[in-house]
Structure 1
Amino acid sequence: MIPARYAASRFPAKLMQDLVGKPVIVRTYQAAVNTNLFDEVYVVTDSDVIYKTIVGEGGLAIMSEKEHECGSDRIAEAVTQMDVDIIVNVQGDEPFTDRESLEGVLKVFEDDAHKEIDLASLMVKITAEDEINNPNTVKVIVDNRNFALYFSRSPIPYPRAKDARTNYYKHKGIYAFRKSALMDFQRLPMLQLEATEKIEAIRYLEYGKKIKMVETNVQGIEIDTPDDLKKAQRAWK
């Protein structure tokens, strides 16, 4: 499932911006399909423009019936009547989505014999100080089993001990959910930490869900700003 809003505060209509001959959302959809990991791939959207664009490219799209504040809610509405166990959420602004990373989050559930894990997601190591300090880059810290402890737009952990040589990880917005966890998310109200940070993954933690983080080496390019789009265009070429 690829949630796709037309509006975006930092970069309006970013998903319909041109990325070397195709809109960003089409490139993302095609990347997900080309992994050959899924029975079906859908774009879930509130936009007639995005819906018609995906269908016009021969893809599958679902129009949201309600207004939603986040991608998880949008996907939850779309899959309510679907007979599925695991749903993968690929962000619409991630045209460099790759097979290896998605295989990593799916394997979490293959290895989870006791069904301990509610959802899995990706993290990638970052070293550039401007990225570590950038509030548009969501950081994650994990325990010794790679379960998420917290997500933040601030640098976490705070480097009080300058010689600690800590690692920083960026949260990549790709999730794999058990359907039950996704349905719980939809009915549970937003709490203070999620409302403060504006990071939907925090809601799962606040309600005691277990998020297994999978490290990937694939940086990719998330298109949040016009500068990101220029980087993506150069990388695509």
Structure 2
Amino acid sequence: MQILGIIPARYASTRFPAKALVDIGGKSMIRRVYEQSLKAKQLDHLVVATDDERIMDHVLSFGGNAVMTSTEHHSGTDRCFEAFSKTQGDFQYVINIQGDEPFISPEPIEELAGVLDGDTELATLVKVIDSMDILFNPNVPKAILNKRDEVMYFSRQTIPYLRNVEQDNWLKFHTFYKHIGIYAYRTDVLAEITKLSVSALEKAESLEQLRWLENGFSIKAVITSDDSHGVDTPDDLDRVTKKFLL
């Protein structure tokens, strides 16, 4: 299987403009994401998909691959499809790597690549929840899996609801999963899902991946021990810098 890694990187960001170019210990955020992703052995090619020439020029300056995409995309998935369409190669899968995780480990990318067998339509990562704060945090999407480790549903609510169990004991009685937002798409499926209209469940939860489930696509879940360390705000940047560089 030929796998294309794509790192979407927008310049504009409501909470942290130009964060892709912010300096983190002598390297830009996007360079750190790129160099960490290059360590994933299963990726046959890696490219940054951006909407801004400043990011494009910067990636090219350190020897990376980059492609310009539209400023009108509403999701990383749409940006990935345009970048895939503009990248030469016979790729069966695309892995969408978050552009705001400067210290991403190659292991979760490799774990995700490991289930891409030609039959898998879509895949993503989940991690067992071990914290009550995460379990009841609506900003952390949760996932329910079936016996084949396929996602049945995503929600910002804590799911499933444990009836007749005190909430303080929920982690003792059930295994809950948080969703880690890195996706793999079979390329023919990627082409199909970018044509779908926003769905009712997607609107309700503000979770794009529900559009795919609601339209009958299957999402394989890979359980990882790795965690995400995304940077959405300057405070997030301070937190991850202290964790990984100090």
Helix, strand or coil: the match of 2:143? Answer: strand
Q: Summarize the Cα distance change of 1:182–1:5 in structure 2 as closer, same or farther, 3 Å threshold.
A: same
Q: Which runs of 5+ in 2 are unaligned?
A: 1-5
1:32 aligns with 2:43: no
Moved more, 126-135 or 88-97: 126-135
Indicate the residue corresponding to 1:166 in structure 2: 174
Report the counterpart of residue 109 of structure 2 in structure 1. Answer: 102
Cα deviation for residue 229 of structure 1 reads 1.3
Q: Which residue of 2 aligns with 1:17?
A: 22
TM-score by length of 2: 0.87
Who is 1:220 aligned against? 228
| Mapping 1:147-166, distance limit 5 Å | 147-160=150-163, 161-162=165-166, 163=169, 165-166=173-174
The TM-score with structure 1 as length reference comes to: 0.90
SS in 2 for 1:187: coil
For residue 121 of structure 1, give the secondary structure of its aligned residue in structure 2: strand
Match of 1:144, SS state, is coil
1:62 counterpart SS class: strand
Q: Is the 8 A contact 2:70 2:79 kept in 1?
A: no
Structure 1 residue 92, shift from structure 2 partner: 0.4
The correspondence for 2:198, drawn from 190, 193, 215, is 190
Deviation at 1:66, TM superposition (A): 5.2
Offset at residue 131 of structure 1 (A): 2.1
- What secondary structure does 2:70 align onto? coil
Which 4+ stretches in 1 moved above 6 angstroms?
A: none
2:143 partner amino acid: V
Partners of 1:105 and 1:130 in 2: how far apart?
A: 26
Alignment deviations for residues 146-181 of structure 1 (CA, whole Å, 9 cap, x no partner): 100111222222344335522222211111110011
Letter in 2 for 1:120: A
Tell me whether 98-107 or 170-179 shows the greater mean CA deviation.
98-107
2:3 aligns with: none
Structure 1, unaligned runs of 5 or more: none
Alignment partner, residue 200 of structure 1: 208
The percentage of counterpart residues that share the same residue type is: 39
Give the AA of the match of 1:179: T
Q: Partner residue of 1:181?
A: 189
